[in-house]
Amino acid sequence: MSPIRAGPTAGLPDNCAVTADDRSDVPTPDAAQPIWAPWRMEYLKGPQPEGCPLCDALADDRLILHRGEKAFVIMNLYPYANGHVMVAPIEHLSEIKDLEPGMAAEIMDLTIRSMNAIEKVSAPQGFNIGYNLGKAAGAGIDNHIHQHVVPRWLGDTNFFPVLAGRKTIGEAVQETLDKLKEVF
C-alpha cells in the first residue's frame, strides 16, 4: 500500500514520476510543465481546427462570459485552473501592437472585472495574468491575441480534484461559466 500523496503531487497516480520539485513554481500560465493539465496536450497535439477558435466561439456564442464593445471574455476550454478565462479583442488581431488604445483599455477593464468575478466565485489566493505571444512563447492560439487570467491557489498544481463528480472537463468549464455569469 503506497502512501497517499499530499501537497503539489496530490492526486497523481502512484506510478507517476512527477515529483513535487518538478512542479514547485509556476512563472507564467503557459510556461513548460506548470500545472498538470493533460487535456491541454490533447488540444496541442490534436488536429488544429480551420479558422480562428476565438472568432468561431464568438460567432457561435460558445463559452462567452461577457461581450463588450471592443473586447470579450471567454472561458478557456483547456484550462490550467478552474476559472481560467481569456480576454481578447473582438477584432481578429494577431499583434499586440495592433490594439487601439480603446481596445487595450477595455481588455484591462475586462481583466479586472474577470478577476473580481472569479474572486467572488472561488476566492483564489493569486492570479497569473498575461499574454503568450507566438508559438515559441507557448501560445495555443497564435493568430488572435488574448490575455490569460488564471486563478491560483497555493499547491494548486493539480486540477483533477475540481473534476470530481463531472464526466468531462467541458462540464466543469460550463459549470464555472454559469457561476461567473451570475456575478460578472
Binding-site ranges for Zn ion (CB under 5 A): 52, 54-55, 92, 144
Compare residues 33 and 94 and give the one whose CB is closer to Zn ion.
94
Q: Which amino acid is at 23?
A: R
Give the shortest CB-144-to-Zn ion separation in angstroms.
3
DSSP codes of every residue in 121-178: HH--SEEEEEE--SGGGT-SS-SS--EEEEEE-TT--B-GGGGTT-SSHHHHHHHHHH
Compare residues 20 and 52 and give the one whose CB is closer to Zn ion.
52
How far is 117 from 148, CA to CA, in rounded Å? 15
**Beta-carbon neighbour count of residue 27 at 10 Å?**
10
List 84, 144, 146, 148, catalytic entry: 146
Give the shortest CB-107-to-Zn ion separation in angstroms.
14
Give the shortest CB-94-to-Zn ion separation in angstroms.
8
Q: Mark whether 84 is an active-site residue.
A: no
- 75: which strand partners? 85
Nearest residue to Zn ion, scored by beta-carbon proximity: 52
The closest of 165, 184, 12, 167 to 83, measured between CA atoms, is 184
Give the shortest CB-141-to-Zn ion separation in angstroms.
8
Q: Are strands 147-152 and 85-89 parallel, antiparallel or unpaired?
A: antiparallel
Compare residues 94 and 116 and give the one whose CB is closer to Zn ion.
94
Compare residues 92 and 179 and give the one whose CB is closer to Zn ion.
92
Residues 6+ apart with CB under 8 A from 34: 23, 26, 27, 28, 80, 157
Catalytic residue numbers, as ranges: 146
